[in-house]
Structures are given as structure tokens and as C-alpha cells.
Structure 1
Amino acid sequence: MTLEELSGVATAALPLAGFKDHLRLGSGFADDGVQDEVLEAVLRAALAAIEARTGKVLLEREFRWSVTAWRDRDRQPLPLAPVSAVVAVRQVDRNGTQIPVTPTRTVLIPDAQRPVLSAPSGGLPAVPRDGRVEVDLLAGYGPEWSDLPADLAQAVMMLAAHFHEYRSNVGVPGAALPFGVTSLIERYRTVRMFMGGRS
């Protein structure tokens, strides 16, 4: 099972101006943009860290999920949330030949924690021998920063500010997310049970 990001977060979608305000950086100077590259880097790092901790995709983008076996023949929890669309499903045989799956054979069951790919009838598409099934997904709260829940947006800002402040430290013993950030993201974290339960 592999997950590949097909489209990255566009620079225009990042709240660079808002982050400057959050840091209370001065404005109106000739060199206003001199820190933009550093600020963008810490914003991207904070975004990635929050997504990793919560299992949620914040800004909308496309992913390709490849599976070599289904956990359940009729329904399969997806590895990301929230998922707004299943763009395409295809079977890929051992030689790399792709066979598109008819869109009506699968349906997305949205869920804030664990969206599911379901088969209305006849089961999910068979995985070819020594092959895989590829599922292209559109995941994220939306394409704009304003689409994010306010607490997740604030968590990213706070963590980015933390990264910015300590950017010169190459190692912090026992490094962890700041308490305020942890508090903001706690309700979004997914509890996963793999001991036979259908999560």
C-alpha cells in the first residue's frame, strides 16, 4: 500500500501575509520580501507536521493510493481525510497495463475521520495477480486557507512561529509540539484500531 501526492500546495494558498502579521513583523520597508522564502519554508513544515499528527489533509490536493489487497471486499477505509472526491479508480496488472474501473462500481462514503470507498454491488474491483488497484483522490478541507477550520489554521500558525523562532537550533532534546498546538489539534487525531476491528 503506497500513497503518493500528485499535486503540492501552491505558494498562493499559503497565508504568508497573515503569518507576517502573526509574527508582528514590520511592513512598509524596501526589503519587506527578504524573509518570504524562510517564512514559506516554516509554514510548509508546520503544515506537514500538523497533517502528520492529525491524519488530515489541510489544503486540497490530489493523491494516488495504490493497494495490493483490500481489507474488506465490500468497503475499504481510505488513508486520508477529508476526501471530497474519488477522481478515478483503475486496475493495473503486472505488466503495467491500466484498466479503468467504471465509476458506478465504487462510491465514496464521506466521513470526517475515516472516509470509505464502498462497492454498491458486486464488491470492490479485483486486484490483479501481482498487480494493484490505483485510486486517485481529491482530499483536503478546500483549496483556500479560509477553508480550514479555525483551530487547525491557528495550530499551523503557532507551530510555524515556533519553528521560525527556533530555526537555528539543530536539535532540541525531547522536542515535541508546543502544548497550545497539541491542544488545538487533539480532537482531529484519529484513533486507529487494527486488531480485527473495522475502522
Structure 2
Amino acid sequence: MALPLAQFRAHLRLGTGFSDDDVQDAVLESFLRAALATIEARTGKILIERDFSWELRQWRDGGEQPLPVAPVSLILSLTVRDRMDDPIPVEATSYKLIPDMQRPMVAATGTCLPSIPTGGAAEIRFTAGFGPGWAELPADLGQAVLLLAAHYYEHRAEAAPSGGPMPFGVSSLIDRYRTVRILGGGPGA
């Protein structure tokens, strides 16, 4: 994953043109990765596109299954495994992706998704993220990552993490991307 080190250096107003410009790259990269992971965890949105594998033991609903993160651009495969862990590939024509920024789903093209045998599981492999690189990120999410990474950088000397709330500027930038869950996450949620 290509991280925006140059943008982060500029955001921090670090000097350039010195022979040791890249000395802090590993530190800067670690703060960017931590900020990306935090923003993704808080919003349920994957920022930089990558592939995921998700296993479940039963469908929430027989006709459609919400996916755990967004945005999802592609279902790579759906495989059901029996209790002996033998894979049973599912034809791609029997399911489809219902893209949604808050709650994407894999849905049956017929009446229901394939049954999961007792003691078995279903594995869904999918691609999620706003795009393959930093440039495809919405500007407000990119700014939130830079602000949070800068916060981590500025407070790196603290002996223990404060565990306090997220900086206000970051929270205000990501609030609209957070998923609101109602009804306890049941089928109607």
C-alpha cells in the first residue's frame, strides 16, 4: 500500500533538501498506518483498496448478507465448506453484490443464498476500499488521516497513550462516514 509520505511531510512542515530526509520515513509511515487503521475502525470504511476474506457460520438472512466493511467494489468468490472443511465453490451467477456506502451486501440472484451445512462455514472473498491509491480517497478522509497521524507524531514522546477521545478536527471529518446501527444489528438494522 503506497502511503502519502510526501504529503505527510508537507503537512508536518518538515524540512526537505537535506541528505538525511528519509531518516524519519519509517516513523512517519508507522504513524500513517496507525491513523489509517484507526479511521477505518471508527468508520467501518476501508480507505485504500485491498482484498478481504470473511468467514461466517450462518447467514443473517437467507436472501442477503450484509458485509462487515464498505465500500465493496467486487465479490471475488463465495465458497461453502462442509464440516470436514471440504470446499464447495458457489457459482458466481447465484449471487450478486449490492453496493452501498454504508451497508453493502451479497445477495442471492434467486430466492436464497446457498445453505451452509451444520458445522460448516461460508467464506466470502471481496475487494473493498475507495480506490487503489491515496488519490482516490475522499478529501475529508485523507485530511482526517493526516491530522490523526500528525497528532500521533506530536505526542510520540508520551510514556503511555492517553486513551482519550479522538481529536475534534478528526472526529468532525469522519462523522458523516460512521455507520449508525439501530435495532441491535438484527435483520432490520
Fold-level similarity (TM above 0.5): yes
**Corresponding residue of 1:86:** 75
Question: Tell me, which stretches of 5 or more residues in structure 2 are unaligned?
Answer: none
Residue 122 of structure 1 and its aligned partner are, at CA, apart by 3.1
**Corresponding residue of 1:171:** 160
- Quote the Cα distance in structure 2 between the aligned partners of 1:151 and 1:109: 25
Is 1:73 the counterpart of 2:62? The answer is yes
TM-aligned CA distance change 1:134 to 1:172, over 3 Å: closer
Counterpart pick for 2:144 among 147, 155, 180: 155
**Corresponding residue of 1:63:** 52
**Corresponding residue of 1:183:** 172
- Quote the Cα distance in structure 2 between the aligned partners of 1:25 and 1:44: 19
Secondary structure of the residue that 2:31 maps to in structure 1? helix
**Structure 1 consecutive aligned stretches of length 4 or more whose deviation exceeds 3 Å:** 194-197
Return the letter of the residue paired with 2:169.
Answer: G
Secondary structure of the residue that 2:79 maps to in structure 1? strand
Return the letter of the residue paired with 2:155.
Answer: Y
**Corresponding residue of 2:188:** 198
**What does the per-residue CA deviation read over 1:154-192, in whole Å, with 9 as the maximum and x for residues that have no partner?**
000000000000012132545121000000000000011
Counterpart pick for 2:132 among 119, 129, 143: 143
| Percent pairwise identity | 55
Return the letter of the residue paired with 2:78.
Answer: V
**What does the per-residue CA deviation read over 1:68-88, in whole Å, with 9 as the maximum and x for residues that have no partner?**
011100011111100000000
Question: Tell me, which stretches of 5 or more residues in structure 1 are unaligned?
Answer: 1-9
**Paired residues, number:** 188
